[in-house]
Every structure is written in C-alpha cells, then in structure tokens.
Amino acid sequence: MSRHLRAIALAAAVQATAAFLPAAVSAGSLQPNELGRVMILEYHKVDQPEGRWTRTPANFRGDLERLWERGYRLVALNDLLDGRITVLLGTTPIVLTFDDSSPGQFRLIEQDGNWVPDPDCAVGILEAFERRHPEFGRAATFFVLPGADPPNRLFNQKDLAGRKLQYLAAHGYEIGNHTLWHANLAKYPASVVSRQLATAQEWIQRHVPGYRIRTLALPMGAYPQDIRWAIEGAEGQAAYHHDAVLMVAGGAAPSPHARVFDPYHLPRIQALESELSHWLGYFERNPQERYVSDGDPSVITVPPGTLDKARRSPGAKVVERP
C-alpha cells in the first residue's frame, strides 16, 4: 500500500474506532505512535488501610477505572517483551505487576462447593472489571515468594498454594521470579544468587510442572554483582533463564519496538496515588510520548522522521505515520 493510501486508510480507521473509545480518549487527538513509552505498574499489598506499600481494594478498582477511561488496555508482560501488542487502534498498552505474593493479591474463598477468587482481592477485582469492560483485557504478572515467611509465602493459604498457581497459569496471568524469600541479590556471591533463583523456580514448577518463568523482579531493585547471574544460571538440576529483569522504579518504559529498549533494565512505576496520578497527568500533557496502537500488530507505526529509532522485529513492517 502506498503512503498516501495508507494515510487515507488510517484516518478512516481512526474515525471508525472513535465511536468505541471512551470520551476522554476519542475527544483527543491521539495518533498512532508505537515508539511511545509504556507504563509497567508495580503493586504490592491490596489491603486496608492505604499506605506506602498498600492499595485498598476500593482504590485499586478506581485505578482500573481511571486507566480504562483514559484509553489504557492491559497486555501481558511477556507479550510486551515479544512486541506482540494487540490492543485496539488508538489505545495504549499497560502492564500490571504484583510483588511479594501477599494475601490480598489472590485469595480463594469457598462458594457453593467451589474455590473462587475473593471479590476483594486483586484477581477478583480484575476479573470483575473485565466482565464489565471486556475490551480492557485480563493480564498481570505475579512475582511470588515460594520460601518467604507468612503472610508472603504464595499468598498465605498454604493448602491452596498449588491451586492458586495453577489458576494463574490457566487464566491468562503470568508467574514471575522474585527470589526464594526476597533476597537482596547485591549482597551475595554467584552461588547464592543462582540458588535463590533456581530454587524459587523449582518450587513453582512443583505446582505447575513445565511452567516457564521468563521474568525476574529484583527485590529492592538490587542487581547482583554480575547481571549475568540474574539472567541465567543453575542449581543442581534446576536451570533458569530470564528474558527480562525488572527494577522497582525508573518511570515509564521505552517501547519494545525502540532501539533503546533494554529488557534487562526494565523500569516500573510504583502504584502509589502520587506516582500514578503524576504519570497519568504526564501523558495527558505530553501525548506525543505515549505509546498509541495502530491496531495492526503486523505493522509498527512510528512518528515521521523516527524510523532510525525503531528496531526491526521479525514478521513486522515498520512504517512512518503520515
């Protein structure tokens, strides 16, 4: 398709899509920009009361509502790493991560003889929101602690730990490595680092055989003395290989289609009211910095004059926006 014809088709698609977007998005002038930045949000406790490391269930629901209204749509962390972003034209991908496997992230309750997510835990809230807004999607990565003391050992329902991990793996969520018991990897030699990471993976795979853990969130953001220890290693028969290493701060991440994208130094935004409000406001004021989908995962649409900033992805064509 010529550049002129693509411009006509893109304009028509934007106009057709506007009717399906929230007013806060369709009233704006967001043009496709798949070199824009992406927010990876970092949650910890979902509980009472609100605090430095705690988001209340009510405020977490409010976070999802704000993201929905502003045109953000959930994507899995692994899909972001692979550049496989399939959100609707004119919307923006966002990634949710949860550290430390605390009880309020995922609690099961018995209902009519079945175990179901507590409607006030993060998983229950996410699924209820998706039922109301299917286009928002369902995706989150849980960085768990298999060997931590209660209440952070695999969400603190000992007899249901395996059921929970299997549920996450089967329902569109991802499980990530966060070490065995939240170890500060900067303090230890290679043997301890590899033991922490390989053993954590081994514990998870006892419950979900064959599950591949692709991502590591660093406790306290502390890298080991050699980053290669965090990326791959082994302990006995258990070997690990991480495709990404996540920090605890740093702001919005570069687009996975950008040359500057570094999966081993992925920044995150802590999901505090102040941080979340800051970044939502930042992208409202600076829409040209926000990743905006063109709706076609086979084409990477970038702003004029930025082809040299994009990296080539197998199976995808990079084109400048008219």
Residue 304: inside a domain: no
Q: Does the structure show a pLDDT above 70 at 2?
A: no
- For the chain, the domain total comes to 1
The answer to whether residues 308 and 257 touch, using CB atoms and an 8 Å cutoff, is no
SS3 content of the chain, % helix, strand, coil (to 5): 35, 25, 40
The residue segments making up the domain with residue 117 are: 37-284
Residue 305: inside a domain: no
Predicted confidence (pLDDT) per residue in 50-83, tens digit? 999 999 999 999 999 999 999 999 999 999 999 9
Residue 20: inside a domain: no
pLDDT of residue 24: 47
Predicted confidence (pLDDT) per residue in 181-210, tens digit? 999 999 999 999 999 999 999 999 999 999
User: How big is the CA angle at 236 (ends 231 and 239), to the nearest 5 degrees?
Assistant: 30
Residue 151: inside a domain: yes
Per-residue pLDDT band at 3 (split at 50, 70, 90): low
pLDDT of residue 8: 45
Of 13, 94, 4, 25, nearest to 319 by C-alpha is 4
Residue 29: inside a domain: no
What is the pairing mode between strands 92-99 and 39-43? parallel
Residue 180: inside a domain: yes
Predicted confidence (pLDDT) per residue in 219-241, tens digit? 999 999 999 999 999 999 999 99
Cα–Cα distance, 154 to 156 (Å, whole number):
6
Residue 267: inside a domain: yes
Distances (CA, A) of 278 to 56, 81, 286, 314: 19, 25, 12, 35
pTM: 0.92
CATH number of domain containing 91: 3.20.20.370
